[in-house]
Amino acid sequence: MKKILLLVAMAVLMQIPAKAQFVHYGARIANGPSYVADDLLTHTPIFGFNIGGYVDYMFTEWKNPWSENIYLQFGLNIIRRGTNFQQVFVNMSSIRQGFFHNWYAQIPVIAGFKYEIPQLPAGNYVNFFLGPTFNVGLWGRLWDRQVTPGMPQSSNNYDTFITGDKDDRASYQHLRRLDAGLILGVGYQWRNFTFDIYMDHGFVALMKKDDVLAPFDQTQNNQNDQNNTGSTTTQNNTKPKDRNAYTGTNNAFMIAVGYQLPIHR
């Protein structure tokens, strides 16, 4: 589903003709809940944040009845993403907890459709928009703590703020610095003021880590093969598919307020 959304966004952008002109420039600020979607971790949001500027292209010379409604937007944002997380290991009577607070430079490429509301006075618009984003990690902070009573090994008892060094507390020593995602949202414009609600969904897993469940899957497959063939000597030697154990991706729901001005020619 994620790949389909990204391909749809790219296809929309590729269908837009290159002949266009700058019509607006503006700035916006946004905040909202940000979290990392991961099936293995219990997570709660942190305060997500966006601030940046943009320019709009309008296709006024495009010979199409919708030429005044379709626009393309390029921007540059500084964004904050992350999550609080917790993981409980019942068999070990152990608990792991921490957070990611990560800052990125984000370049969104947005295709939008703007429509003036005929029932209201001039200057009232609604718009719908979507498009891919490209993110580069700038700096970040990681807290990762695990406590396991009865097991003194340092791998089971640690705190990156106490037992670790500064590299252990730097997010991008542990996480991928590059990310790509998709923005999908709706907005309202009154004169020069803009109000938007949008989802920012990441596609790149934050970490690369071997899946510890893969050997158990291999054992289960062997047992199923033996049951199906009725033989205790049959063994499936197929190498299990490499999988990323940490499937977490950046996600955020943002509410934005902005102001734009026309570009005079």
Average of pLDDT values for 107-112?
96
The 10s digit of each residue's pLDDT in 135-148 is 999 999 999 999 99
Is residue 234 pLDDT above 70, yes or no?
Answer: no
Q: What is the mean pLDDT of the chain?
A: 82
Distance of alpha carbon 113 from the chain centroid:
23
The 10s digit of each residue's pLDDT in 50-82 is 999 999 988 766 666 666 789 999 999 999 999
Report if pTM > 0.85. Answer: no
Question: Is the pLDDT higher at 107 or at 88?
Answer: 107
Q: How many CA atoms lie within 13 A of 167 on its CB side?
A: 2
CA distance 97 to 6: 32
- What is the DSSP secondary structure assignment for residue 172, as one 8-state letter? G
Confidence of residue 41 (pLDDT cuts 50, 70, 90): confident
The 10s digit of each residue's pLDDT in 147-204 is 999 888 888 899 999 988 888 899 999 899 999 999 999 999 999 999 999 999 999 9
Return the percentage of the chain with pLDDT > 70, whole number.
74
CA distance 157 to 148: 6
Model pLDDT, residue 102: 96
Q: Are 197 and 186 in contact (CB under 8 A)?
A: yes
Q: Are 57 and 73 in contact (CB under 8 A)?
A: yes
Model pLDDT, residue 9: 53
